[in-house]
Amino acid sequence: MTTATVNSIHGGDLHQASREFGFPLDQWMDLSTGIAPWAWPIADIPSHIWHRLPAEQCPLERAAADFYGCDNAAILALPGSQFAIRSLPYLYNLCRVALPARGYFEHEKAWREAGHCCVNYHDTALNHLDREVRTGNVDIVLVVNPNNPTTAVLDRERLLEWADILKQRGGCLIVDEAFMDVDETMSLSRSCPRPGLIVLRSLGKFFGLAGLRVGFLLSDEKVKFWLKKRMGPWAVSGPAQFLGVLALQDAQWHRQQRERIKEVAIMQHSLISSVLEGLNKPEEMRVAKGPLFISVFIASDKAATIFRGLARRGIWLRRFDYPDSQQGCLRFGLVKNIDQRRRLQLGLEDIVGEWL
Ligand SMILES: Cc1ncc(COP(=O)(O)O)c(C=O)c1O
């Protein structure tokens, strides 16, 4: 396993995009995040909810337990899963933590800042990590499942086995399932609570409610109690709790959202693959379909040219550069409608045309 420097910018910063490329803020097509382009439609919030301090989080946690298929006792509502990401490193004595070399960088940042020894693994070479877990060379393993931006999905049975092994040595497995809502097949949420296993969920991606700041910790009683105490009272606002319950209970909207996400992801994967295939030999490029984004792994210089070419046309992507590789990644969030699809297609075709 290697250690690597991490990328340190987030998607969705159109101010940065405008500063760099001069397009007015309201004319960007923002494909730089993995947030669904269709948000759950916000309901009216009764005025008493604004007026009072937030009540206990029970209704929100019950709705989440139903949605994630876990025991009610396993769940704690949070002001975004980011709160757990920043806090969990302080629950453990300094130890060895395995984190994805390509993955949501906030995890590694938090563990490093807390002083832990971070080692990276590649989700294309899991046998090595498997050995490290079995030989006790790592105490904590962090998995983003499905991973952002690699799109890798790790198998449930393997992860549960790791959780059991790590638990025996006082460690644990942490699984960030921020992107699991589109297809729950590999989710570990329904296995919670289970000692040695911590799962994080978010209303930011599938529900398109990143601004609401609601996420969940799924864990055993000890971890849940520790985080609850650290969080203190009223951390999740009353309006966020009210809307969160309604969003989690809206089964018809969940069905519609899953269908359109799957349909657009397939279409966009095929569009990007077919346009970019003119530029690259198949072995030099990989176009991967994630739950809420398409990731293109390609030589860093080509990634930079496509990124800048699309930005000059007002299309903002997320670009990842990896210091340990010549290959970079471009992540395309899903388009919202046919007009956006056309704009993306024309932009990509223009760039390929200029190149050839
Ligand atoms: C993989 C992953 N986990 C967690 C988060 C944080 O989500 P939240 O909005 O629940 O804090 C993000 C945000 O981009 C993410 O990409």
> What is the per-residue pLDDT across 38-55, written as a single tens digit (0 to 9) for each?
999 999 999 999 999 997
Instruction: Report the Cα–Cα distance between both ends of the chain, in Å, rounded.
Output: 39
- What pLDDT is attached to residue 3? 40
Set out the domains of the chain in order of their start, with CATH numbers: 14-38+253-355 (3.90.1150.10), 47-249 (3.40.640.10)
Reply yes or no on whether the pLDDT at 29 is more than 70. Answer: yes
The pTM for the full model equals 0.95
Q: What is the dihedral of CA 180, 175, 91, 77, to 10 degrees?
A: 20
| Residue nearest (by alpha carbon) to ligand 1 atom 3 | 178
- What pLDDT is attached to residue 18? 87
Three-class SS state of 198: strand
Q: Mutation test of ligand 1: which of 181, 202, 203, 212 has the most ligand atoms closer than 8 Å to its C-beta?
A: 202
Three-class SS state of 340: helix
Reply yes or no on whether the pLDDT at 7 is more than 50. Answer: no
Average pLDDT over residues 188-202: 97
Lowest mean pLDDT among 26-35, 137-146, 280-289: 280-289
**Pairwise CA distance, residues 335 & 27, whole Å:** 15
Average pLDDT over residues 226-232: 97
Residues 297-339: tens digit of each pLDDT? 999 999 999 999 999 999 999 999 998 888 999 999 999 999 9
Residues 249-265: tens digit of each pLDDT? 999 999 999 999 999 99
**Pairwise CA distance, residues 148 & 205, whole Å:** 12
- What pLDDT is attached to residue 35? 97
User: What does 165-196 look like in DSSP terms, one character per residue?
Assistant: HHHHTT-EEEEE-TT-TT--TT-SGGG-S-TT
Decide: 348 and 275 in contact? Cβ < 8 Å.
Answer: yes
Q: 210 in ligand 1 pocket by Cβ < 6 Å? A: yes
Most confidently modeled range among 11-20, 28-37, 321-330: 28-37
State percent of the chain over pLDDT 90.
Answer: 85
Decide: 310 and 17 in contact? Cβ < 8 Å.
Answer: no
Decide: 140 and 97 in contact? Cβ < 8 Å.
Answer: yes
Query: For residue 200, how far is its CA from the centre of ligand 1 (angstroms)?
Result: 9
Query: For residue 281, how far is its CA from the centre of ligand 1 (angstroms)?
Result: 34
Q: 298 in ligand 1 pocket by Cβ < 6 Å? A: no
pLDDT grade for 354, boundaries at 50, 70 and 90: confident
Query: For residue 179, how far is its CA from the centre of ligand 1 (angstroms)?
Result: 9
| Residue nearest (by alpha carbon) to ligand 1 atom 6 | 82
Q: 144 in ligand 1 pocket by Cβ < 6 Å? A: yes
Reply yes or no on whether the pLDDT at 10 is more than 80. Answer: no
Query: For residue 306, how far is its CA from the centre of ligand 1 (angstroms)?
Result: 26
Q: What is the dihedral of CA 2, 328, 158, 258, to 10 degrees?
A: 150
Q: Which residue has the tokens 């916000």?
A: 42
pLDDT grade for 9, boundaries at 50, 70 and 90: low
Query: For residue 313, how far is its CA from the centre of ligand 1 (angstroms)?
Result: 28
Q: Which residue has the tokens 């296993």?
A: 197
**And the tokens for 75?**
């769940």
Q: 81 in ligand 1 pocket by Cβ < 6 Å? A: yes
Q: 174 in ligand 1 pocket by Cβ < 6 Å? A: no
Q: Mutation test of ligand 1: which of 81, 150, 207 has the most ligand atoms closer than 8 Å to its C-beta?
A: 81
Q: 207 in ligand 1 pocket by Cβ < 6 Å? A: no
Q: 11 in ligand 1 pocket by Cβ < 6 Å? A: no
pLDDT grade for 353, boundaries at 50, 70 and 90: confident
Average pLDDT along the chain: 94
Q: 104 in ligand 1 pocket by Cβ < 6 Å? A: yes
Ligand 1, closest atom to CA 179?
Answer: 1
Q: Which residue has the tokens 């960030």?
A: 176
Query: For residue 48, how far is its CA from the centre of ligand 1 (angstroms)?
Result: 30
**And the tokens for 333?**
């969030």
Query: For residue 178, how far is its CA from the centre of ligand 1 (angstroms)?
Result: 6
Residues 64-117: tens digit of each pLDDT? 999 999 999 999 999 999 999 999 999 999 999 999 999 999 999 999 999 999
Let me know the angle formed at the C-alpha of 346 by 278 and 273, rounded to the nearest 5 degrees: 35
Q: Mutation test of ligand 1: which of 9, 106, 218 has the most ligand atoms closer than 8 Å to its C-beta?
A: 106
Lowest mean pLDDT among 22-26, 33-37, 95-99, 331-335: 22-26
- What pLDDT is attached to residue 6? 34
Three-class SS state of 119: strand
- What pLDDT is attached to residue 77? 97
